[in-house]
Amino acid sequence: MHPDIRWQDVDTVLLDMDGTLLDLAFDNYFWQQLVPETYGAARGVSPQEAQALIRQEYSAVQHTLNWYCLDYWSERLGLDICAMTTAQGPRALLREDTVPFLDALKACGKQRILLTNAHPHNLAVKLEHTGLGAHLDLLLSTHTFGYPKEDQRLWQAVRQETGLNPEKTLFIDDSEPILDAAAQFGIRYCLGVTNPDSGLADKHYLRHPSLNDYRRLIPSLTVKELP
């Protein structure tokens, strides 16, 4: 499904960060390779055992705020996840289509709000290495609200905080359950990213329109409406 957005009806664009504005390769490497390797070395267990143990830990808290919480994982795994994140900061990369799209949104007077489940430390490290913050109007980490994007209470809190009108909002994310939560809240346009990780095959969405390059949205965004 391709997006059919009436841009004249959109005031606010909400954007996820990892896999949506930044290449998810950073996070996939960090959580699926580096953390199990570091954990295995610290515990003296084989890479296979470490992978299995870590996978079990991840699945136990998926779609909760703890899944995204560096403090939780530091305590749970006995690793300094914040320090590891800082050390890996240079690996954080913007998608090629991110800045052209964000700049086009600005030129058309749309409000650009980052809405990420990333922990504030993770967010700060990525902003430092990518310069992403310069292309956004507001940056929100769900940790400051106490709920992840999967939770309806988060959407209520974001509306209260920003004054956004769900009927005049576009939301872009690379997680179908999160897009579902946004749609349930009443966000008018929910759009999936098919290529969050530049090193992996495209993913497919069952319930939402999707695309792999935001630059394809720019012509319709910048076209002048006929009176």
C-beta neighbour count of 114 within 10 angstroms: 23
Helix (H) or strand (E) holding 126: helix 120-130
DSSP codes joined into one string, 15-68: E-SBTTTB-THHHHHIIIIIHHHHHHHHHT--HHHHHHHHHHHHHHTTTSGGGG
Q: How far is 181 from 152, CA to CA, in rounded Å?
A: 7
- Which residue do the tokens 């939301």 mark? 171
Read off the tokens for 10. 């959109």
Catalytic residue of the set 4, 9, 27, 197: 9
* CB contact burial 42-63 (16+ within 10 A = b; e otherwise): eeeeeeeebbebbeebeeeeeb
Asked if 9 is an active-site residue, the reply is yes
Q: How far is 45 from 1, CA to CA, in rounded Å?
A: 45
The answer to whether residues 133 and 112 touch, using CB atoms and an 8 Å cutoff, is no
Active site (catalytic) residues = 9
